[in-house]
A and B are shown apart, each in its own frame.
Chain A
Amino acid sequence: MSIQQASDDQTTAPAHLWKVSVSPHLKSSESVEKIMWTVVACLVPPLILSVFVFGIQTLLITAVSVISCVVVEAVSQKTLGRPVTIKDGSAVLTGLLLAFVIPPGVSPLLPILAAVFAIYIGKHLLGGIGYNFFNPALLGRAFLLASFPVAMTSAWLSPVEGFGIFSYLAGSVDAVSTATPLAVMKEQGMAIFTETFGSGASLYGSFFLGWRPGCIGETSGFLLVLGGLYLIYRGYITWHIPASLLGSIAVLTWIFGGESYFSGDPLLALLSGGAILGAFYMATDYVTSPTTKTAQIIYGIGIGALTVLIRLKGGYPEGICYAILLMNPLSTVLDGWFKPKRFALPAGGAK
C-alpha cells in the first residue's frame, strides 16, 4: 500500500510515523536537565552575595571554573566517542560547586587544572555521569589541595568594607590573605578566634549571613539553607542526608569539640567550614550518594562523624570535603546493605 493510499483515512499522520514503544506512554515532566539547572539556580544567590563580600574576583573565579568544566566535559565526551551532554547542566553545576570550594583569592589557573582533573579523570574516565563514584567538584578541590597546598590554604580574602567590590582587583591578593575561622580556631585557639570574629549573637549572625572569610560558597549559610529547602520542597533532594549530616556534626561537636566534654559549640560548627554547602549540595549528589533512605541516613551520619574527626584531629580544618570523598565510594556498599523493602516475599519465605 502506498503512503498515498494509507493516508486516505489516516489522513493526517500515516502509520509509519507513529511511535511504537513500550509502556508507559506518559512520562513525568522532570528531567536530568531540569534538576541540574534548578540546583544551579539555587547556587546563584550565594554567588551574588559573595561578590559583595569578597569582591568581583569571585565572579571571575567562578566563570573560569564553570567554563573550563563545560569545555572539558565537551572535549572528554567527544574524544571518548560519547554523546555530548553539556546542555544537561551537570558540568555547569560541577564548575559552580568547584568554584564554591576553593579560596576566592587563587590564580585562575587553578580552577582550570581542577576542571580537567575533576571532569576528565574523575567523571569520564570512570564511565561518565552515573558511574563516577567520587563527587567531581570535591575531587577537583582535593587535587588542588594536594598540588597547591599553600595557595589553597592561604588565598582567603577578608570581607571587603562597604561596597568596594573591586578593591581586590587592584592590589595584590596575597597581601590581604587571611585565615578561615576554623583555621584560626584550630591553630590559635578560642581566645584569638573571639577576638577576630567576635562572639555570641553577632558572631552567629555574621557567619549565617556570610560576612566572614571562607570559600565563595561557604560564606552564606542563610542563602544556602534557603536554596536547600527549596530543593527539598521540589522533591529533588530529601531531608535524610542533610539532616543526618548536620545533626551528627552538631551533636559530635557539642560532645567532643570543647575544652571538656559537652562544651563544644554546635551552632558555630554548622555555620563554618562549608558544612551547609556540603550537606545540601555536595553530599546529596545523586550519583555519589546512596539511593535508599536508610542508607542515606547512615551515609549522612558517616560524613558528619568524619567531618568532626578531621576537624578536631586531622590537619584539615575544612574537613567536610574529605569526609564526603571518603564516604562516596561507600554509597553503593550501603545501597547493597539497605535494599528497599519488598512488597511481600513468596509464602514460606523462600526467595
Chain B
Amino acid sequence: MKSLLTFPKGGVHPPECKAQTQGLGIEIMPVPDELELILGQHIGAPCTATVAKRDEVIEGAVIGEVQKGLGVPLHSPVAGKIKNLATSVHAVRVSAPSITIEVDREAAPVQYQKVDWQQLAGADLLAKIHDAGIIGIGGAGFPTHVKLNPPADSPVDTLVLNGAECEPYITADHRQMLENPGQIVEGAKIILKILGITRCFIGIENNKPDAIREMTKAAEQASGGEYSITIQPLQVKYPQGSEKQLIQAITGRKVPAMALPSAVGVVVQNVTTAKAIYDAVVYGKPLYEKVVTIAGKGIARQANLQVKIGTKVRDIVKYLGGLQPGLAKVVMGGPMMGFAVSSLDVPVTKTTSAVLFLTEDEIDTKPHSQCIRCGWCLDACPMGLEPKEIGIYVEANRAQDTAQFGVFDCFECGSCAYVCPAKRPLVQFIRLAKMKAKRQ
C-alpha cells in the first residue's frame, strides 16, 4: 500500500462514530406525501420560482431558475402539483422561500436514456452539468459548472476527487464509493475532459479500506489510454476533507488565503458530486436525490437513506421508527461543522450529507470557562490561526481588531473548539469576529 498522505499542520482526531452506519447499504426511502424545496440551495443567488400555485409538474421539471448571478436551476424531484410558494424552516437562515409540492402517487417514474458522452464537446458537457442543477455536494454547495470553468489566467493541471469524508458519523460518500465506484470514476473522466487535463487523484481516508479497494479496481479499469486516475489513501485526520488541506496533502501545493484552488492549478470535487455529474451527463438526470446518513442514538433506526431533495426531517424520522429517549440535539450535517436545528420541519437540501440525532452522552454540554492559555487550539488549527486570541478579543468587545489573528482564513472547521479544555465556543466567537472585523 502506498504511504498515507496528510496535511502537516494542525488537525484533530475526534471519535469516528462511523461503525454503526458504514455497513448499511444505500436504502431508497419511499417518497413522502409532500416535499418542500428551498429556492436557495447553494451559495450564490437563490432561484426564482418558475411555477405557480396549482401547476402540475413532472419528475425532473425545472421549477426554479436563477435570474441573475451565480447559480443553477432547481428541479422537481417528483411528479405532482405545486401546493404552495411560501417560506420554509431553514437550517442556517432560519427561514427561506420555498416551493411545496404535493406528490402525485399515480405517476410512473421517469426513465432516463443513456447517451454516449464521449461524443460531446467540453462546452456541451458543462451545459448539461449546469442544466442538471449540480452543485458541490460536500460543502457549501458552490455551483459545479463555475468550478469546472476556471479563470483563464490560472491553468489547471490536476483534478482531486474528495473521498476523505473526515466528518465523524457520516458514511454517505463511503457507501457511494462502495456501491457506485464505476460511475464515480466515469464522472471523473467527464470532469477531466471538460477541464482538458488528464490527471486525477482520488483521496480517501484510510479508515475506508473497502472503498479504497473498490475505487482502485474501478480506477485501474478506467485508467488506460489518455487518463491517469490514482487512488490516494490518506491518514485519518480531521479536517482532511477541507479543500485546502486535501490539496496540500495530495499535491503539496498551498492555496493562498482568499484564493480558489485553481490558483495552484487544482480543481476539487466531491466523489458524490462526480456521481451526480455522471447521472447528469450520461442519463440527463438532474440532481434531485441525495444519499443522507441518518445516525445517532436519538433515532430508532440508523441508515444511509436515498431521499428526494425537499424531504422533511419529520418524514425521515417517521420512516425510521421515531425518536429515542434522551435526544438532545438534531444536527443537519456532520457533528464538527453541521447546524443544530430546533424543528423537524427542516427539509433536506442538495448539500445535506447527514442528519444526526444526538443524545446527551454523545455531545458535550459542559459550560465554558475562561481561557487558560494552554495553546491547544493553536496546535489544532490547520490554518495556523490564533483562536484563543480571537475568543479573548471578542469577549473584551474588541472583535473589530481580530483580523490580525487571521479570522478571515478560518473556515470554521471547529478543530480548535473541539480540543479546548475550557470548552470555549471558539467557532461562535469567530463568527462574531467575522461580522465585526474589517478585512485588511
B198-206, B278-286, B367-375: which lies at the A interface?
B367-375
B375 touches A292 (CB 8 A): yes
Question: Is A175 an interface residue when CB atoms closer than 8 A count as contact?
Answer: no
Q: Which A residue sits closest to B406, measured CB to CB?
A: A342
User: Main SS of the interface on chain B?
Assistant: loop
- Check if A31 sits within 8 Å of B9, measured CB to CB: no
Closest CB of chain A to B402's CB: distance in Å? 14
Is there a chain B Cβ closer than 8 Å to A78's Cβ? no
Q: Is B440 located at the chain interface by the 8 A CB criterion?
A: yes
A291 touches B257 (CB 8 A): no
Q: When the two chains form the complex, which single residue of B298, B384, B431 contacts A343, counting CB atoms closer than 8 Å?
A: B384
**Are B427 and A22 in contact, with the CB atoms below 8 A?**
yes
Q: Is A26 an interface residue (CB 8 A)?
A: yes
Query: Is A34 on the interface with B (CB-CB < 8 A)?
Result: yes
Given the known A-B contacts A12-B327, A32-B422, A344-B256, are A291 and B340 also in contact in the complex, defined by CB atoms under 8 Å? no
Q: CB-nearest residue of chain A relative to B412?
A: A23
Contacts of B418 in A (CB 8 A): 24, 26-28
8 Å CB contacts to A: which residues of B302-357? 314, 317-318, 322-331, 335-344, 356
Tell me if A24 and B365 are in contact (CB < 8 A): no
Contact among B168, B366, B384 for A26, CB-based, below 8 A: B168
Q: Which residues does chain B contribute within 8 Å of A24, judged by CB atoms?
A: 14, 335-337, 414, 417-418, 427
Chain A 1-40, CB-CB to B under 8 Å as 1, else 0, gives 0000000011111011111111111111011101100000
Contact A32 B369 (CB under 8 A): yes
What separation, in Å, do the CA atoms of A131 and B422 have in the docked complex? Answer: 14
Is A85 close to B, CB under 8 A? yes
> Contact between B317 and A9 (Cβ–Cβ < 8 Å)?
yes
Bound: A13/B258 CA distance, A: 42
B414 near A23 (CB under 8 angstroms)? yes
Pairwise interchain contact A10-B421, C-beta atoms closer than 8 A:
no
Return the CB mask of A327-349 against B: 1 if under 8 Å, else 0: 00000000000011111111100
Q: Mark B356-389, 1 if CB is under 8 A from A, else 0.
A: 1010001111100111111110100111111010
Q: How many A-B residue pairs have CB under 8 A?
A: 178
Flag whether A130 is at the interface (Cβ < 8 A): yes
Q: Is the CB of B217 closer than 8 A to any CB of chain A?
A: no
Q: Are A26 and B257 in contact (CB under 8 A)?
A: no
Is A88 located at the chain interface by the 8 A CB criterion? yes
A203 in the interface, Cβ–Cβ < 8 Å?
no
Q: For B376, what are the chain A residues with a Cβ–Cβ distance below 8 Å?
A: 30
Is the Cβ of B329 less than 8 Å from the Cβ of A131? no
Q: Which of A15, A17, A25, A342 has the most CB of B within 10 A?
A: A25
Residue of B nearest to A85 (CB): B369
Residues in chain B near residue A131, CB distance under 8 A? 370
Known interface pairs A13-B298, A26-B364, A291-B388. Does A346 touch B340 (Cβ–Cβ under 8 Å)? no
Q: How far is the CA of A16 from the CA of B341 in the complex (A)?
A: 11
Cβ contacts A to B, 8 pairs, < 8 Å: A10-B344, A11-B322, A13-B298, A22-B425, A26-B336, A32-B369, A292-B378, A347-B259
What is B's interface to A at a CB cutoff of 8 Å? Answer: 9, 12, 14-15, 168, 244, 254-259, 263, 298, 314, 317-318, 322-331, 335-344, 356, 358, 362-366, 369-376, 378, 381-386, 388, 406, 409, 412, 414, 417-423, 425, 427-428, 431, 440
- What 3 A-B pairs have minimum CB-CB distances, sorted nearest first? A291-B375, A24-B414, A27-B364
